Amino acid sequence: MSGDPRSESNASRILDMSATRCGAFDESQLVTVMALHPLWQRLLSFVPAGIACGLGVWQFRRRFEKIKAIEVCNRQFALPPGDNTLLLQDLRQVELQAYRVLDLRGDWVHEETRLVGPRPCPRYVSEHSRSGANPFGYFVVTPLQVEGLGPVAAPVDDSGLAWWPVLVNRGWIPREQVADYWKNVRAFAENTTTPSGGQTELRAVPQQQEKSSFFMPRNRPQDHKWFRLDSKDLGGRLLLEELDEQSPVQSDATHPKDPLASLSVYRPTSHDLCQFYISPETHANYSITWFTLSAMLAFLGWYRNRRLPIL
């Protein structure tokens, strides 16, 4: 008595599946598996796990980089502040000393100010202050004629931009106050014989240079348009960042001849410079998340290929 063809076919398929699970492949079955599941497809199953693992390693490296930067920052701020004599010795050495606090004395050259922006509100601005300010504004970069350093008149380069030994990022102002700033500069220039309004004292640190990126276009000095803080493009040898802290010789009152005196200017403190928007602890949490995801994806890749032979 002959059996049903469909029953025989099902029985044959079941035997084939059983043989596959037990690892018993004949030559034809092995060729079929190799054709349907080549090695590159099985390896491709682990690519997402490798990417997640790489991101975890990168977050782990960023954590140690920021820990080291915070240690350098705290060590530099613990040193006694430098003064004008450091700038008189070697500007290059001062530029290389990140977070080196300087108490300087000199004259502002307000009419040579460069506005860098528009830039979003800095991270060190408190949420209370940020709620009442325009989210975009400009960094005010003004030349400082340090006492005993450089000529009174700065040379002019090919783009018509005056070149100064020292430039100072005086802080960030909202966009709507830019016109008021230039109005104050013109008023002070008309009412005094010295455009700087007299000698000033300030506390500053070397400014970290910014590089152009996809989100930050290149500066155009020939058009007097700046979008990032770069001393060379701004026409200066050394770029400093003024702190929201008074030097020991500075009076409590803001200098009346300062165009920023009546404006909302935001500057960082030494504590702000030693903080990061993404802290090292956050990077550690990110790395744990990526490593966990990598392990899960690796398990899924293994689960997908667990019944296939090793070719």
Nearest Cα to 273, choosing from 303, 300, 242?
Answer: 242
Question: In this predicted model, which residue has the larger pLDDT, 155 or 206?
Answer: 206
306: in domain: no
Task: Supply the DSSP string of 130-187, one letter for each residue.
Answer: HHTS-SEEEEEEEEEEETTSS-SSPPB-TTSPBPEEEEEEEEEEEGGGHHHHHHHHHH
List the domain range (segments joined by +) for residue 245.
Answer: 100-273
Residue 293 pLDDT level (bands cut at 50, 70, 90): very high
State the amino acid at position 161 in one-letter form: L
Distance from the first to the final alpha carbon of the chain: 43
Q: Token pair of 188, please?
A: 């002070």
52: in domain: no
Decide if pLDDT at 283 tops 70: yes
pLDDT digits (tens, 9 = 90+) for 181-229: 999 998 888 776 555 556 788 999 998 888 877 778 888 888 889 999 9
Q: What is the rounded CA–CA span in Å between residue 18 and residue 15?
A: 5
**Average pLDDT of the residues of the chain:** 79
Decide if pLDDT at 240 tops 80: yes
Question: In this predicted model, which residue has the larger pLDDT, 154 or 111?
Answer: 111
Q: Token pair of 177, please?
A: 């106050």
Query: Checking phi first, is residue 200 left (phi over 0); if not, alpha (psi -120 to 50) or beta?
Result: beta
Task: Supply the DSSP string of 53-90, one letter for each residue.
Answer: HHHHHHHHHHHHHHHHHHHHHHHHHTSPPB-HHHHHH-
Is 239 buried (19+), middle (13-18) or exposed (0-12) by CB count in 10 A?
Answer: buried
Q: Token pair of 210, please?
A: 């910014």
88: in domain: no
154: in domain: yes
pLDDT digits (tens, 9 = 90+) for 167-192: 999 999 999 999 999 999 988 887 76
Decide if pLDDT at 99 tops 60: yes
Q: If residue 203 lies in a helix (H) or strand (E), which one and from where to where? A: strand 199-206
Give the phi and the psi of residue 246 in degrees, each rounded to 5. Answer: -90, 140
208: in domain: yes
21: in domain: no
**What pLDDT, on a 0 to 100 scale, did the predictor assign at position 163?**
83
138: in domain: yes
Nearest Cα to 113, choosing from 159, 181, 180, 175?
Answer: 181
156: in domain: yes
Decide if pLDDT at 58 tops 60: yes
Inter-residue contact 220 to 234 (CB < 8 Å) = no
Which whole number is the average pLDDT over 64-83? 90
- How many domains are there within the chain? 1
Inter-residue contact 235 to 162 (CB < 8 Å) = yes
Question: In this predicted model, which residue has the larger pLDDT, 129 or 260?
Answer: 260
